[in-house]
Structure 1
Amino acid sequence: MPHDRMTVLTAMMDQGVIPVFFHPDAEVCIQVIQACSNAGAKCIEFTNRSDFASHTFLEVARHFAKADPSVIMGVGSIVDAPTAGIYIANGAKFIVGPVLNADVAKVCNRRMIPYSPGCGSASEISQAQELGCEIVKLFPGESVGGPAFVKNVLGPMPWTRLMPTGGVEPEEASLREWFGAGIVACGMGSKLITNPQVAAGDWRGIEDRVRATVETIRRLRAA
């Protein structure tokens, strides 16, 4: 199944929530990601957060290329171009970072890979757009001003597509406030895929929680 730039961007916006997850054990990652996929969240952000994380990612990406090609594996916590290149070579279909880095944008654009850099001001968002970023990560979402910040940016820059990470809860009230402000998607880590669930191997519980979040977003958009 081809996952070109436009397909990936559309999938990210369609599912509305991007599960953010990392575990050093590839088998745990496979179970969690499959649960997310089953729940309707096919785009997963694997975070580059430890030594040898790229090796774990490669193993997981190879698994899904065969077992469930509908899964779209992306990578987060990318702050430099060499690391982005490693993950793209290992199968990453989108790149996310906590900061804006022009060299990462160039690497991603050269390979037609979506890049969502972390931005916290209108100027940074504008710079990201100048570098070809269609969906800009708002980070840390709550700290930079939350839903009010989103509304204030979209006023003079209505073409902007924002994806906050940090401060978005899987509960309906939080999702209503953020999506009501105008975001196109959000990233969610341990509030969506809880540490106790992972520790207990509660893959069905993770699937149910992710499905409920995806369905809540769909319902809020249709209202």
Structure 2
Amino acid sequence: MAVDRMTVLSAMMDQGVIPVFYHPDVEVCKKVIQACANGGAKCIEFTNRGDFAPHVFLDVTRHFAKADPSVIMGVGSIVDAPTAGIYIANGAKFVVGPLLNADVAKVCNRRKIAYSPGCGSASEINYAEELGCEIVKVFPGSSVGGPDFVKSVLGPCPWTRIMPTGGVDCTEESLTKWFKAGVVCVGMGSNLVTKQLLDAQDYAGIEKKVRETIALIRTIRGK
């Protein structure tokens, strides 16, 4: 499915939360990702962490290209350009990293793929924007200053779009602090797709939690 960069960026901001997930079992990945999509989170960040993760990703993207083309598969934990290229060739529509790498930005820009690098300072965020990054990941969110850091950056740079990952919970208190600080979306891993839900194979529970989180974010944004 051909999805342009602006469509992906708009979808990320609209849903407000990006589920961050990895599992070595392709079938588990399919079920979790479909549950997230059914709950309203069509953009999913698959983390590049396990052995043969690119092969798992390829199988998953091939599945959703037929089963549910509305799913937008992205990849996270990307730290170098060759790995980014592998995932783009395997169908990634956006790339996320724990750090900023200019070569990854160039690869993504050549293919019109959204790139959200991890940044921990105003200078890194500025450099990421010079490289063409529309949504910048703040990572680890809680360690670099949390919502107060976001407010401090957006004061002199109101055009910046920030997505924190790390230190974001599904609670109204946590999400309110982040969104009132000015973030455009948040990344959430085990706080959203919990170990308890996974162990129980409770995919309906995952769908419910995703749906409730998106609804909560929309309520917060509307206040």
Shared fold, TM over 0.5: yes
2:116 maps to 1:120: no
1:60 aligned partner, one-letter code:
V
Query: Cα offset for 1:51?
Result: 1.6
Aligned pairs for 1:32-111 within 5 A: 32-111=32-111
2:58 aligned partner, one-letter code:
L
Q: Considering only aligned residues, what root-mean-square deviation do their CA atoms show, in Å?
A: 0.6
2:100 aligned partner, one-letter code:
L
Which runs of no fewer than 5 residues in structure 1 stay unpaired? none
Give secondary structure in 2 for the equivalent of 1:136: strand
Give secondary structure in 2 for the equivalent of 1:128: helix
After the TM superposition, which parts of structure 1 deviate over 4 Å for at least 4 consecutive aligned residues?
none
Cα distance in 2 for partners of 1:73, 1:62 equals: 10
Query: Cα offset for 1:50?
Result: 1.4
Cα distance in 2 for partners of 1:162, 1:147 equals: 11
Query: Cα offset for 1:172?
Result: 0.7
Q: Which residue of 1 aligns with 2:139?
A: 139
Which runs of no fewer than 5 residues in structure 2 stay unpaired? none
Q: Which residue of 2 aligns with 1:166?
A: 166
Cα distance in 2 for partners of 1:106, 1:51 equals: 26
Cα distance in 2 for partners of 1:43, 1:164 equals: 16
Query: Cα offset for 1:2?
Result: 3.3
Query: Cα offset for 1:196?
Result: 1.5
- Length, aligned pairs only: 223
Give secondary structure in 1 for the equivalent of 2:56: helix
TM-score by length of 1: 0.99
Q: Which residue of 1 aligns with 2:186?
A: 186
1:222 aligned partner, one-letter code:
G
2:129 maps to 1:129: yes
Give a deviation string over 1:107-129, Cα, whole Å, max 9, x none. 00000000000000000000000
TM-score by length of 2: 0.99
Q: Which residue of 2 aligns with 1:218?
A: 218
